């Protein structure tokens, strides 16, 4: 029988046949790793808001400075405040000096800001959208480009209003053969019912392929690297399963509390709705997904949805056994005394909302059966950090079990923020005549390895939307399956006549004792982000 790709050769060491590698076919899809962003007119609803000043404009400016922003891109800000182009540009220049990742260069800013213009209008006023349509048509006539990208950087309650008005004004279609797309900020609904209703409104305005539900965690460089780490490295992929991994931990720790009047919003949401439903479940799905058939957006998102559908659903008893909610009491962070959660501004003194949640989750599929995934998110913790930690099972306790460090397993840590990178804990013999074992770390940092800082998430995500690449955006069924999981937890807390008690922890600590017991029941302990991989002594 003929060999499929040539005659086999004998391996010189073991005299065994070794097949030649498959030939590299001339496939343009394999050569092109990313779609090319197209110029468009980007309309930002909420143009005077915090997100626009801190993230969106600095991201666009960074892309312009790097030469990656498509030539001819225009930006139109839409808001109700009485401003003109000059005034809006002056405000943005001031905020860009504070928030631009690459630094603020006056000459570069002058070139970039020439593309910025301001359109005053109320979200509820149909005439404002008709005026916007006329303005966009004038830009299309001037530039010859009919592509439109609408960014809804507004409060979620205004999403349906803006979408319906866009449709009524005919702005949900491109001009002169161009496209029209919408980016929708989180939170995308407050529960499954509201998310489903909002998805229906979006579907009546924009096609699913033209809808980009943004989750900035997916734009972070390390989050994007999870698939490469898993599927491009032979040393990890065979071990990436419950047979070899003892447990997975996903931690999002924040030092701040309810500063800036955030308590008014947060006390209606809580940690599970605000962070777990979107950011942390997205990270979990990237860690746990099966290999996609290719790197297209739907292939990747198909596998993520399978993970969310495989999450073990919990009734009230399951929530009581596997979920801890908590509020911080007064304490100290960085030597500064801070109030407890119920003492924060705009938080109800009898609040039952959780600024901390810890979940022991299980994925009921072939790869992960029996492996616990621990998820926690908390405010007023000692550090600001987000990381994923995969703790491998220990080898048999036969040779080194009596030696210090001999029985510990390997740990792979993926740092999402702030120091993006990854590290692997290994065991090694120390130099000398005695057999002594110590832990050593193999550490990878994006900044040190590539000598450049990782781009901000919004820099990548805005370009992806201009390119029509939805890989790093949430699809409708992703959002709804994530809400289905969180809704069961919320129901056990708020619709249960005997809900689980609210735990407490001092601000500046690592959370309540109940969360430690959640892991101790399975013989595990939390890893503390921002500290060396050996946290067993801390």
CATH number assigned to the domain comprising residue 45: 3.40.50.720
Report the DSSP pairing between strands 74-79 and 356-362.
unpaired
Q: Two tokens at 53?
A: 């000043």
Q: Which of 185, 209, 231 is the last residue of a domain?
A: 185
Cis peptide bond prior to 370, omega within 30° of 0 = no
Task: Taking residues 190-216, report their average pLDDT.
Answer: 93
Answer yes or no: is 106 within a domain: yes
CA–CA dist 276, 258 (Å, integer): 18
Tell me the H-state helices in 158-292.
159-168, 192-205, 221-231, 263-269, 271, 281-288
**Residue 297 structural domain:** 218-394+474-520
The answer to whether the beta carbons of residues 188 and 195 sit under 8 Å apart is yes
Does 229 share its domain with 164? no
Q: What is the pLDDT of residue 21?
A: 52
Higher pLDDT, 187 or 340: 340
Instruction: For residue 137, count other CB atoms closer than 10 A to its CB.
Output: 13
DSSP string, 470-528: -TTEE-HHHHHHHHHHHHHHHHHHHS-SSPPPPEEEETTSS--HHHHHHHHTTT-----
Tell whether the model's pLDDT for residue 152 goes beyond 70.
Answer: yes
Does 92 share its domain with 240? no
CA–CA dist 355, 504 (Å, integer): 10
Instruction: Categorize the per-residue pLDDT at 25 as very low, low, confident or very high, splitting at 50, 70 and 90.
Output: very low
- Torsion angle of the four alpha carbons 526, 527, 531, 534, in this order, in degrees rounded to the nearest 10: 120
What is the enclosing helix (H) or strand (E) of 62? helix 57-66
Q: pTM here?
A: 0.87
Answer yes or no: is 535 within a domain: no
Q: Which of 506, 222, 237 is nearest to 380 (CA)?
A: 506
Q: Which of 156-165, 423-432, 453-462 has the lowest mean pLDDT?
A: 423-432
Does 373 share its domain with 483? yes
For residue 38, the number of C-alpha atoms closer than 13 Å in the C-beta half-sphere is 17
Q: Which of 275, 72, 71, 57 is nearest to 151 (CA)?
A: 57
pLDDT digits (tens, 9 = 90+) for 355-404: 999 999 999 999 999 999 999 999 999 999 999 999 999 877 666 666 65
The string over 485-515, giving b where at least 16 C-beta atoms fall within 10 Å of a residue's C-beta and e elsewhere, is bbbbbbbbbeeeeebbebbbbbbbbbbbebb
DSSP tally for the chain: helices H, then strands E? 18, 20
The residues assigned a catalytic role are 279
Answer yes or no: is 433 within a domain: no
CA–CA dist 212, 76 (Å, integer): 19
What is the enclosing helix (H) or strand (E) of 413? strand 411-417
The answer to whether the beta carbons of residues 469 and 297 sit under 8 Å apart is yes
CA–CA dist 59, 459 (Å, integer): 5
Tell whether the model's pLDDT for residue 409 goes beyond 80.
Answer: no
Does 288 share its domain with 358? yes
Does 125 share its domain with 253? no
Instruction: Categorize the per-residue pLDDT at 322 as very low, low, confident or very high, splitting at 50, 70 and 90.
Output: very high
Does 139 share its domain with 282? no
Nearby residues of 204 by Cβ (< 8 Å), 6 or more positions away: 163, 167
As for how many domains the chain has, the answer is: 2
Answer yes or no: is 162 within a domain: yes
CATH number assigned to the domain comprising residue 238: 3.30.360.10
Task: Taking residues 44-49, report their average pLDDT.
Answer: 94
Answer yes or no: is 172 within a domain: yes
Q: In what order do the strands lie in the sheet with 385-392?
A: 437-445, 421-429, 411-417, 385-392, 245-253, 372-378, 356-362, 323-329, 503-506
Which residues make beta-bridge pairs with 253?
378, 385
Nearby residues of 30 by Cβ (< 8 Å), 6 or more positions away: none
The answer to whether the beta carbons of residues 89 and 131 sit under 8 Å apart is no
Answer yes or no: is 428 within a domain: no
Answer yes or no: is 1 within a domain: no
* DSSP structure class, residue 5: T
Does 278 share its domain with 224? yes
Does 294 share its domain with 358? yes
Task: Taking residues 309-336, report their average pLDDT.
Answer: 95
Does 147 share its domain with 261? no
Beta strands in 11-115 (DSSP E): 17-18, 41-45, 74-79
Q: What is the pLDDT of residue 526?
A: 96
Report the DSSP pairing between strands 41-45 and 17-18.
unpaired
The answer to whether the beta carbons of residues 411 and 392 sit under 8 Å apart is yes
The answer to whether the beta carbons of residues 115 and 40 sit under 8 Å apart is no
Q: What is the pLDDT of residue 439?
A: 73
What is the enclosing helix (H) or strand (E) of 115? none
Q: What is the pLDDT of residue 8?
A: 45
pLDDT digits (tens, 9 = 90+) for 50-64: 999 999 999 999 999
Q: What is the pLDDT of residue 146?
A: 93
Q: Which of 251, 244, 185 is nearest to 212 (CA)?
A: 185
Q: What is the pLDDT of residue 34?
A: 62
What is the enclosing helix (H) or strand (E) of 421? strand 421-429
Does 228 share its domain with 134? no
Q: Which of 240-254, 276-290, 317-331, 442-456 has the lowest mean pLDDT?
A: 442-456
CA–CA dist 284, 288 (Å, integer): 6
Q: Which of 94-103, 169-178, 211-220, 450-459 has the lowest mean pLDDT?
A: 450-459
Could you give the 3-state DSSP secondary structure of residue 341? helix
pLDDT digits (tens, 9 = 90+) for 103-148: 888 999 999 999 999 999 999 999 999 999 999 999 999 999 999 9
Does 90 share its domain with 161? yes
Does 226 share its domain with 168? no
Answer yes or no: is 152 within a domain: yes
């Amino acid at each position: 029988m003929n060999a499929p790709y040539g005659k086999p050769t004998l391996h010189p060491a073991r005299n065994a046949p070794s097949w030649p590698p498959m030939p590299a076919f001339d496939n343009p899809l394999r050569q092109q790793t990313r779609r090319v962003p197209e110029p468009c007119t980007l309309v930002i609803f909420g143009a005077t808001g915090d997100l626009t000043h801190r993230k969106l404009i600095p991201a666009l400016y960074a892309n312009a400075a790097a030469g990656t922003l498509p030539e001819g891109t225009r930006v139109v800000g839409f808001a109700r405040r009485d401003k003109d182009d000059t005034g809006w540009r002056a405000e943005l220049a001031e905020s860009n000096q504070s928030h631009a990742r690459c630094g603020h260069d006056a000459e570069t800013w002058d070139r970039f800001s020439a593309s910025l213009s301001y359109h005053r209008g109320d979200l509820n006023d149909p005439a404002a959208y008709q005026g916007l349509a006329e303005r966009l048509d004038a830009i299309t006539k001037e530039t010859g480009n009919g592509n439109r990208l609408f960014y809804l950087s507004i409060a979620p309650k205004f999403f349906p209003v803006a979408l319906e008005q866009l449709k009524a004004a005919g702005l949900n279609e491109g001009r002169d053969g161009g496209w029209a797309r919408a980016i929708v900020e989180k939170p995308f609904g407050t529960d499954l019912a509201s998310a489903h209703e909002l998805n229906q409104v979006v579907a009546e305005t924009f096609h699913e392929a033209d809808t980009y539900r943004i989750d900035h965690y997916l734009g972070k460089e390390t989050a994007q690297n999870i698939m490469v780490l898993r599927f491009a490295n032979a040393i990890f992929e065979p071990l990436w399963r419950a047979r070899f991994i003892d447990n997975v931990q996903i931690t999002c720790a924040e030092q701040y509390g309810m500063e800036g009047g955030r308590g008014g919003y947060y006390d209606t949401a809580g940690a599970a709705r605000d962070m777990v439903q979107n950011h942390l479940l997205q990270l979990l799905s990237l860690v746990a997904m099966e290999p996609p058939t290719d790197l297209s957006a739907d292939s990747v998102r198909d596998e993520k949805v399978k993970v969310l559908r495989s999450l073990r659903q919990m009734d009230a008893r399951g929530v009581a056994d596997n979920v801890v909610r908590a509020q911080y009491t007064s304490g100290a962070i960085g030597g500064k005394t801070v109030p407890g959660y119920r003492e924060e501004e705009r938080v109800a003194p009898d609040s039952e909302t959780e600024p901390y949640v810890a979940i022991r989750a299980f994925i009921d599929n072939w790869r992960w059966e029996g492996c616990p995934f621990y998820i926690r998110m908390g405010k007023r913790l000692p550090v600001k950090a987000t990381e994923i930690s995969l703790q491998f099972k220990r080898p048999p306790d036969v040779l080194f079990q009596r030696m210090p460090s001999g029985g510990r397993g390997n740990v792979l840590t993926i740092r999402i923020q702030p120091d993006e990178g990854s590290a692997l804990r290994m065991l090694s013999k120390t130099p000398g005549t005695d057999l002594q074992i110590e832990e050593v770390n193999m550490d990878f940092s994006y900044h040190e390895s590539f000598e450049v800082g990782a781009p901000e998430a919004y820099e990548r995500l805005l370009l992806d939307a201009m390119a029509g690449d939805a890989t790093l955006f949430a699809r409708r069924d992703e959002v709804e399956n994530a809400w289905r999981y969180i809704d069961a937890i919320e129901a056990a807390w708020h619709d249960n006549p005997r809900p689980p008690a609210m735990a407490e922890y001092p601000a500046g600590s690592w959370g309540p004792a109940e969360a430690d017991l959640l892991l101790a029941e399975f013989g595990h302990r939390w890893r503390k982000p921002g500290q060396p991989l050996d946290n067993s002594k801390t």
